[in-house]
Amino acid sequence: MIEWQAIGVVAAIVSAIAGALAWAARTMLATARLVADIERRIEAAETSLREEVHRWRQIEAQINRMMADLPRDFVLRSDHVRDIAVVVARIDGLGEKIDRLIDRLIEVRRDDRS
């Protein structure tokens, strides 16, 4: 004869194991979904980061081109002042030479008249 208590215990154990397996399967499925969601977010972040790096490289290239053009397009105030001082000094030197030439010409004319 089969004991009903033993059958009840076995049924309870099988039921508990089935419940634990169902819970484990649900938990694993939820974990798999969570992992898939995290992977999608990571991929989106990586894509966004790649795009951002590309934009920063473009900005860096623009800045480098601008920095290369700066010496050609702009002059520092101190450089301009120095350059103008050199030009003024040369003009003054030329003026002095012209004055000496004029003085010589005047002397030569005086000598020719005498």
| pTM score, whole prediction | 0.47
For 25-37, what is each residue's pLDDT tens digit?
999 999 999 999 9
**10-18 own/partner pairs: CB under 8 Å, 24+ apart:** none
- Residues in the chain where the model's pLDDT stays below 50: none
Q: What is the pLDDT of residue 5?
A: 87
φ, ψ at 2 (rounded to 5°): -90, 135
Amino acid occupying residue 29: L
CA gap 36, 33 in Å, rounded: 5
What is the dihedral angle through the alpha carbons of 85, 89, 92, 98, rounded to the nearest 10 degrees? -140
CA gap 67, 89 in Å, rounded: 32
Give the start-end residues of each E strand in 12-101. Answer: none
